[in-house]
Amino acid sequence: MLATSLPIGLRLAIYLAAGIAAGISNGIAGGGTFITFPTMLALGVPALQANVSSSVGVLPSYVGGIRGYRLELTRRWPLVRQLLPACLGGVSLGAALLLLGSPGTFRSIVPWLILTATVLFALGPWLTKRIAHLGHHGLRMRALHVGMFVVSIYGGYFGAGLGIMLLALMGLTLPDDLDTLQGLRSALSTIINAIAALIFLVRGHLVIEAVVMLLLGTLIGGYLGTRLIKRLKPMTVRILICCIGIGTAINLLLR
C-alpha cells in the first residue's frame, strides 16, 4: 500500500498539511473531515480506520472556534448544557452503527444529507422569518433538541459536513446572529467529536501516526480559520459555508 511505501517523514508531512487545511475549513464552516478522510484513503488506509482516525484527529480544530467566539458564547452556555443529552445519545448511536453495522446504506445517503443541510442554511434567513411566529421556547426549541439528536447520530457515524448541518439546524431554530451560531457550532462540534473520539479510542482502529499529525495540524488550522472568518462580512461567510457544503456533497457523490 502507498501508506507503507512512502518514507515516514513524507507521510507525516502529508498528514500535517491535510490537518492544517482541514482545521482552516472547520474554523470557517466545517467540512474538514472531507480533507483528512480522502487523504488517508489515498495513502492506503482502510476506510474504517480512516474514518475513526479523522474523527479523532480533527478535534482540536474546533477549540480555536470556542476561543474565537467566547464573547458570543458567554450567554449561550446554558443552551449548550441543555443539548448535552441529545449529543451524547446521538453520537453513541451513530458510533455503534459505524462500528457494529454495515456502512453501505447509510453512506449512500450522506451526500444528500449534506446537500439538504446546505440548502437549508442558504435559505436560513428567509425561513427563519417565515417561522418566527412559532416562538423560541416552543416548537422551535423542541425541533432543536430532536434535530441535535439526529445530527449527532450523523456526527458519530461519519461527520463530514457536521458543522454545516449544525449551522442549518440552529439557523432554523435559534434567533441568534451568525457569529453566535458559529460559536455554538464550534462548541457543539467539539462535544460531538470528543464523545466520538472517546468511543473510538476505546474501540481502537486508529492509525496513531496519522492521528498525532492531524491533531497538531488541525489545531494550527482551526486557529487560522477562526481568525480569518472574524474578518469577513456575514454574507461572505454564508456564501463560503454554502460553497463548502456543495463541494463536500459533490465530492461524496463522485465517490
SS3 120: helix
- Averaged pLDDT, 118-125: 76
For residues 96 and 203, give the distance between their C-alpha atoms in angstroms, rounded to a whole number.
11
**Domain assignments of the chain as residue spans, ordered by start:** 6-254
Q: What is the pLDDT of residue 127?
A: 65
Report which listed range, 48-52, 128-132, 246-250, is most confident.
48-52
Indicate if the pLDDT at residue 132 is higher than 60: no
For residues 61 and 20, give the distance between their C-alpha atoms in angstroms, rounded to a whole number.
9
Which has the higher per-residue pLDDT, 15 or 249? 15
- Averaged pLDDT, 28-46: 81
Q: Is the dihedral of CA 61, 155, 241, 214 positive or negative?
A: positive
Alpha helices, H only, the chain: 2-5, 8-28, 33-42, 47-57, 63-68, 70-73, 77-82, 84-100, 103-122, 124-130, 140-157, 162-173, 178-203, 208-229, 234-254
Closest CA to 152 of 174, 176, 169: 169
pTM of the model: 0.81
The residues near 237 (Cβ < 8 Å, ≥ 6 apart) are 28, 29, 178, 182, 229
Indicate if the pLDDT at residue 122 is higher than 90: no
- Averaged pLDDT, 107-134: 72
Per-residue pLDDT reduced to its tens digit, 65-111: 677 788 888 889 999 999 999 999 999 999 998 888 776 776 688 78
For residues 158 and 208, give the distance between their C-alpha atoms in angstroms, rounded to a whole number.
19
- Averaged pLDDT, 147-169: 88
Buried (b) or exposed (e) across 202-221, using 16+ Cβ within 10 A? eeebbbeebbbbbbbbbbbb
